[in-house]
Each structure stands twice: as structure tokens, then as C-alpha cells.
Structure 1
Amino acid sequence: MALAANYIRKSADVVGVARNGRATASIIFLHGLGDTGNGWSSLIDEIRPPFMQFNCPTANTMPVTLNLGFQMPSWFDIRSLEFGGTEDEAGIKSAASTVHGMINNEIKSGIPADRIILGGFSQGGALAIYSALTYPEKLAGVIGLSSWLPLHSSFPGSKVCPDSLPVLLCHGDSDPIVNHKFGQLSHSILKTFLKSTQLKTYRGLAHQSTPQEISDVKDFIDQCVPHP
């Protein structure tokens, strides 16, 4: 696994301070396979509240089995796109430890855990979900766009977060890469041990985002981290 357990901010990471000069909330958003922190930073910047700082980190470059071993930014190795397929368990857990380090850095900067949103797209969304579930404190919420629950058979045993963690899953019903059934199955599993999990489906949407989805994400952020 290319990522180190101790997070080191890289030059490709994109961060943004609160517009009003004093951050009281934060969002960490993880990109999808082959992307960088730049891929989502502008959009996150547009929808965040003025009191929220953001961090869009970039994964290290590593060979990805699903893509014939080609090297690209990736949070962990992807070996299959089947819900019950072989997973990179060690890589997922190492990457989650790295994300936990990012969360701890936000807390050290003065942001309470319950005002930190964790989110991501595709592989990044999968890691965000797993990381939030395996973090011992309650985060403000977690967002998974076109993603899935990694190592799903280990839950609820692997869950250490409070049952009240809010989760928003968004998925297009025409996604040819991460099938919509991944979102549906993940939602079904999460509902068994979390009190606030919702799945929003977008008709005709492929493996991408849409203005309506982004509007729903903004509403979720505003709900989870109200103005102080």
C-alpha cells in the first residue's frame, strides 16, 4: 500500500480556509480513482458554508490491479467491481488509518469531531464511508457519491462510530462502473446499524455528478453543520 499511516500533506492537496476568517467546521473530500484533489476542490469550495474550511487531499500513486497494474492516484488497490469480489483489506484499513489522521489534524486545529464532514466520490466515497464507521467519535456526517461500503461483511462488527452517524449516499441508476446495486446494497446494510442513512437515486445518471446531486449534498452539509 502506497499510503503511509501518518498523513503528510502533499503539494497536490487542495485546502481552503473559512471565508469569514474563523473556521468552526470542516469537510474532507476524497477523490475517485485516477483523480487528484483538484478534481473536486472547486465544487466543494462553491457549496461549503462560509465558516467551513476544506481539505481535498490527493492519494499516492500506486499500481491498480483492476486497471492491469497501471499506476495512478489510488487510495487502495481495486481488484474487482463485484460486491462480493476480492478486496484489498490491508490497503483499505491502512488508507482508513490515514484518513483518521486527517480527521485528528482537523480536531487539533480546533474543529470538533461533530462538525467535521467526511465525503468522497467513487473509491474516495467508499473510503470515506469505511473511515467514518471505524472512527470512534461521531462525525457531523459522511457522504458517499457513486460509491459502496468496503469490507461490508465485517459489519456491524467493525463499527466503532456512534449509531447516530448521518450518512448520505447518492448514486445514478445508469452507472456502468460502480453499479447502482452497490449503493442499494450498501444502504441496506448501513440501515441495520445506523439510525440516519439515506440513499438518493438519480435517473439516467452515469458515473458522474449532476447539479441536483450537488444541491442535495449542500443541503446535507447545511443540515449537519448548522451556523454556529
Structure 2
Amino acid sequence: MSDSLIPHVEVNTGDNPQACVIWMHGLGDSGHGFAPIVPELQLPESMPVKFLFPHAPVRPVSINNNMEMPAWYDIKSLDFNSRADLTGVEESAQQIKQLFDAQVEAGFAPEKIVLAGFSQGGVIAYHLGLRLPQRIAGILALSTYMCEPGLIAEQASEANRDVPIFVAHGEQDPVVPKILGEMAVKTLQENGYEPQWHTYQMQHNVCMEEIQHVSEWLQARLG
């Protein structure tokens, strides 16, 4: 089965991990982009975690003059409501679901698996995490937004109705304006979720304070 899975980078923080984080990168990046964050999280040796950083498929991106680059979906416009191409989002979410299912088959309990993503990757984490039929450990949504938020009410899985969600955004983000992160949080709240909302003095990136908070959150979810 592994041959058919989406290509990915694997980083383990110790032997025999019992928890797993599937972390999706942003537009134009690869699974290698976020892999170096693992040692910076400084997770305790007593809590070994398997991190998987999948590589998005290469596709033409409309707003970049159809240049081909790693992308979880096409971006046809920067309009708030149509920024994420739903068809591409669903296709990528299905690929990540196969990776998730493979971890469950390998012995990881679904409630010990976190879906994480930055920017485009966060869109996939939201889309899949809110719809998975198995209860998961949590959703980590960094500098991101939501695809077709109006669909959540009818498509959300009952198993994850109270799933822990950590949302983080840069106050000066020029790529994904902070208001898009706030709109996603508002949608979650309107649908009964209780996301944690964090902002940082940064642009479209991550910072050490954020990494520390993510580490604390992961330890609480996976410990």
C-alpha cells in the first residue's frame, strides 16, 4: 500500500512512536520545508511522535501565470470566497486521507493523530479534519483559511464536533490576511467548535513563540 501513498518525509522523535502528526506545507514548498521544525518543538523523549510531511503534487497555479509548482489546489483568484479551488482541495484531502488511513492500519489510534497545515496546507487540514469519521487528536491550522466554509454545517463529522483546534496567524501577514484566519475561526464558532486563536507579530511565516505554543498544545493533545 505504501507505494501508492503520497510521497512524504518522515521524522520520528524517538523509537516506537504512539502518536502521529501529518503536516502539510504551503504553496511552492515541499515536505522538506517544515521537517526542520521537529527538533525546535523540543518534545519530551517520553512522548515519541512520528511526523509525516507530505509533498503536494505539482500543478499549474492560475494566479502565478499558470506556472507549475507544488500546490494542494489551484488558486484562481485572491477573492476571499473563491481563493481555494474546491475540486483540488477535495482531491488533495483524499490523498492525505489515504496517508491517515495507512497510519491507522499501522497501529496508530486515530485519536493520537493530529492534522496540521500551514497556509494551503492548513486549508487541507481543516477540510479533512472536520470531515473524518474517526475522532482525531486535533487540527493545527497555521496562517491559513477555510475552503467553502458554508459546507461545514452539512458535511462536518459528528465524531469531531468538539475536536481541539489550534489556529495561529501573523498580525502582518501580506499573503493570507489575518481577517481570513478570523473568518475561519468565526465559522468554527458558529458551528459549535471552540478553536484556540493565537496571533503573533510576524508575517506569513512561523516564529519561536508560536513554535513553543504549538509544542505545548501537541503535548497536551498527544501526551
Give the TM-score normalised by structure 1. Answer: 0.90
Structure 2 residues not aligned, in runs of 5+:
none
Give distance in 1, aligned partners of 2:40 and 2:203.
Answer: 23
Residue 151 of structure 1 is matched in structure 2 by: 148
1:175 to 173, 176, 181: 173
Cα displacement string for residues 153-186 of structure 1 (whole angstroms, at most 9, x for unaligned residues)? 2121111142111111100111001000001010
Matches within 5 A, 1:121-136: 121-136=118-133
1:14 to 2:12 alignment: no
**Cα distance between partner residues in 1 of 2:91 and 2:36:** 28
Match of 2:216 in 1: 219
CA contact (8 A) 1:7 1:101 kept: no
1:32 aligns with 2:26: yes
| Structure 1 residue 46 displacement after superposition | 3.5
Distance 2:193 2:84 in 1: 27
Q: Distance in 1 between matches of 2:73 and 2:133?
A: 22
Which letter maps to 1:62?
Answer: R
Distance 1:84 1:9, change over 3 A: closer
Which whole-Å CA distance do the structure 1 matches of 2:44 and 2:129 have between them?
Answer: 21
Aligned length: 217
Match of 1:163 in 2: 161
Bigger fraction of residues in helix: 2
**8 A contact 2:6–2:96 mirrored in 1:** no
Residue 71 (1) aligns with residue 65 (2): no
**Which stretch has the larger CA shift, 185-194 or 68-77?**
185-194
What SS does the corresponding residue of 1:16 show, helix, strand or coil?
A: strand
Read off the aligned partner of 1:115 and give its amino acid letter.
K
Deviations 1:15-65 (A, max 9, x none): 02341x111100010000000000000102442454111101111111011
Which of the numbers 195, 198, 204 marks the counterpart of 1:197?
195
Sequence identity (%): 28
Inter-partner Cα distance in structure 2 for 1:45 and 1:58? 20
Query: How far apart are 1:199 and its partner, in Å?
Result: 1.0
Gaps of 5+ in 1: 1-5
RMSD of aligned residue pairs (Cα, Å): 1.6
Work out which of the residue numbers 51, 54, 65 in structure 2 matches 1:54.
51
Tell me which residue corresponds to 1:23.
17
SS in 2 for 1:128: helix
